[in-house]
């Protein structure tokens, strides 16, 4: 046993040191990418990170990587992103927000490729692979241009949920993001799923492709299309099937859900004192993530008024003016060690917006969730928790003090929520290899073999989802036939 432990400890040192070019996405996406970067550094690999001058989270100086700073905007600076989220919360402005973001990204790509000196230096560096988050396409396009193996750290591509770009996605039981459907759909829910799929494809054609098609043709020629750029050697998916609904997958998809989660560390003394002061009632933790700015005053007042009625203590990561209804039991903070708090035995409930990182941390530590989804994938993430009986979801746009209070009380007093989340936690932890170690093995596998062509396919999953819905397709065809027949009669 001692020899085996020593061998496992020495394994990272025995790996041939490689050179990795990382093109990350800023904000919360950087938080999990940085976990992989630090581990690559500890294993002896050289890491270079491409960042822009307006980077928010990605610092220029780091002991774990060397920065390549582009003298241009990425569109992911703090001011733009907070304004972007504010616009998304206004449905009428949502489309234009996406248009603005894609426009900034296309300018970044053009500026990058027109910098001939930089491109030549990237070629001369002889990197072993490109590691990128395909929520924006720049890293994938750069890897294609440099002819380097490509690894995705992925939940989303620029055109939607990652699986739809790589794996068969039968719409009869694989719900489209935004549908708020589960994998168990009635006939009419399947019909709705297909319609949402069609609308999503229209959105891609309307808001996404126009920004990139000309650039792809300019730098790669007419025989390369935008979607073919996304055929990576390896897809490191930031989910697992404790969280995700069962669905088809592909051999180059590796699941690493919760890879960033670690056992809780001791809290700063002032937080530990506050938590211990809760006594037998425990503590409620609330955070709406890094991208959400100030809440509307009436909503903040309703939330704090509901908290003030509770015997529990509350820690809330909050930005904005102090609400007038704030109770003595609520501590407002502008930052908190979220994972360490979730791992504290006195935490009873996590009030969250449903971002992937926070949901995975709640699963890891076994804390039930009261969800307040706002934008992006948050509704769908929380739906998966709800379907497993580990949380409750409230519509934040119709929520008032009473609705919020009743939601808290339901999750606190019904033991099934905690029991179900603890079960998910046990399932998630019961793996032969830790998700982060598995991810690092496969990254190094791609380095050693200069790609993973034997695992790849030219299949593009997003276009064949409807093929598997035979019954649904027949129903739609019959409906069209009947409408046509009776209108003619």
The CATH number given to whatever domain includes residue 53 is: 3.40.50.2000
Domain count, the chain: 2
pLDDT for 55 equals 84
- pLDDT for residue 224: 86
CA gap 387, 54 in Å, rounded:
39
Residue 488 has what pLDDT? 57
Same-domain check for residues 32 and 155? yes
pLDDT at 94: 41
Residues 174 and 233 in one domain: yes
416 and 447: one domain?
no
204 with 292, same domain? no
- Model pLDDT, residue 104: 75
Q: Is residue 2 part of a domain?
A: no
d(CA 418, CA 309): 22
Q: Phi and psi (nearest 5°) for 351?
A: -90, 115
Strand residue runs (E) in 220-282: 234-237, 253-255
Does residue 487 lie in a domain region? no
223 and 295 belong to one structural domain = no
- In degrees and rounded to multiples of 5, residue 172 shows phi and psi of -75, -20
What is the side-by-side order of every strand in the sheet holding 313-317?
330-333, 313-317, 283-287, 347-352, 369-371, 391-393
Same domain, 79 and 44: yes
Give the residue numbers spanning the domain of 64: 17-259+434-472
Are 294 and 208 part of one and the same domain?
no
Judge whether 188 lies within some domain: yes
DSSP secondary structure letter of residue 60 = S
**In a domain? residue 127:** yes
| Same domain? 412 vs 329 | yes
- Structure confidence at residue 13 (pLDDT): 46
51: helix, strand or coil: strand
Q: What pLDDT does residue 467 have?
A: 47
Specify whether 181 is located in the same domain as 312. no
Q: Give pLDDT, residue 199.
A: 84
Taking the CA atoms of residue 278, residue 284, residue 290 and residue 295 in that order, the dihedral angle to the nearest 10 degrees is -100
Are residue 152 and residue 221 in the same domain, yes or no? yes
Q: Is residue 488 part of a domain?
A: no
Among candidate residues 319, 265, 315, the one with its CA nearest the CA of residue 290: 319
pLDDT at 330: 97
CB atoms within 10 A of CB 458: 6
Confidence at residue 466, expressed as pLDDT on a 0 to 100 scale: 47
Q: Which of 429, 463, 482 delimits the end of a domain?
A: 429
> Is 6 within the bounds of a domain?
no
Weakly modelled stretches of the chain, pLDDT under 70: 1-15, 73-101, 290-294, 459-489
Is residue 4 assigned to a domain? no
Same domain, 318 and 297: yes
Looking at the structure, do residues 27 and 160 belong to the same domain, yes or no? yes
Q: Is residue 145 part of a domain?
A: yes
Global pTM?
Answer: 0.87
């Amino acid at each position: 046993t001692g020899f085996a432990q020593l061998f496992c400890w020495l394994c990272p040192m025995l790996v041939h040191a490689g050179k990795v070019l990382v093109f990350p996405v800023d904000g919360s996406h950087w938080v999990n990418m940085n976990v992989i970067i630090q581990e690559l550094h500890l294993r002896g690999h050289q890491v270079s990170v491409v960042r822009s001058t307006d980077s928010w989270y990605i610092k220029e100086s780091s002991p774990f990587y060397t920065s390549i700073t582009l003298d241009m905007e990425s569109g992911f600076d703090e001011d733009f992103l907070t304004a972007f989220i504010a616009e998304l919360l206004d449905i009428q402005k949502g489309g234009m927000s996406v248009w603005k973001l894609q426009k900034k990204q296309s300018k970044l790509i053009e500026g990058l490729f027109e910098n001939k000196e930089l491109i030549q230096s990237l070629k001369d560096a002889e990197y072993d692979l490109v590691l990128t988050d395909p929520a924006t396409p720049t890293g994938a396009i750069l890897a294609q241009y440099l002819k380097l193996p490509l690894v995705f750290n992925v939940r989303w591509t620029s055109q939607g949920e990652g699986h739809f770009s790589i794996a068969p996605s039968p719409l009869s039981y694989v719900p489209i993001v935004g549908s708020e459907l589960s994998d168990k759909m009635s006939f009419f829910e399947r019909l709705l799923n297909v319609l949402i799929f069609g609308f999503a494809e229209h959105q891609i054609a309307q808001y996404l492709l126009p920004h990139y098609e000309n650039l792809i043709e300019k730098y790669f020629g007419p025989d390369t299309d935008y979607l073919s750029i996304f055929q990576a050697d390896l897809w490191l998916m930031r989910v697992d099937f404790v969280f995700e609904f069962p669905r088809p997958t592909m051999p180059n998809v590796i699941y690493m859900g919760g890879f960033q989660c670690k056992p809780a560390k001791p809290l700063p003394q002032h937080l530990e004192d506050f938590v211990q002061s809760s006594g037998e009632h425990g503590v409620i933790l609330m955070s709406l993530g890094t991208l959400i700015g100030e809440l509307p005053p009436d909503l903040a007042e309703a939330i704090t008024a509901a908290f003030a009625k509770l015997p529990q203590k509350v820690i809330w990561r909050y930005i904005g003016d102090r609400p007038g209804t704030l109770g003595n039991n609520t501590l407002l903070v502008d930052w908190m060690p979220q994972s360490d708090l979730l791992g504290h035995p006195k935490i009873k409930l996590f009030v969250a917006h449903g971002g992937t990182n926070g949901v995975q941390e709640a699963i890891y530590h076994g804390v039930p969730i009261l969800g307040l989804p706002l934008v992006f994938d948050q509704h769908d993430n929380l739906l998966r928790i709800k379907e497993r009986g580990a949380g409750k979801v409230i519509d934040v746009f119709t929520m008032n003090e009473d609705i919020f209070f009743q939601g808290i009380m339901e999750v606190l007093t019904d033991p099934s929520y905690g029991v179900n989340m603890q079960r998910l936690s046990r399932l998630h932890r019961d793996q032969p290899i830790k998700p982060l170690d598995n991810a690092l093995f496969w990254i190094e596998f791609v380095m050693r073999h200069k790609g993973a062509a034997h695992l790849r396919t030219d299949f593009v999953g997003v276009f064949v989802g409807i093929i598997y819905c035979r019954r649904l397709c027949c129903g739609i065809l019959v409906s069209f036939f009947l409408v046509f027949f009776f209108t003619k009669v």
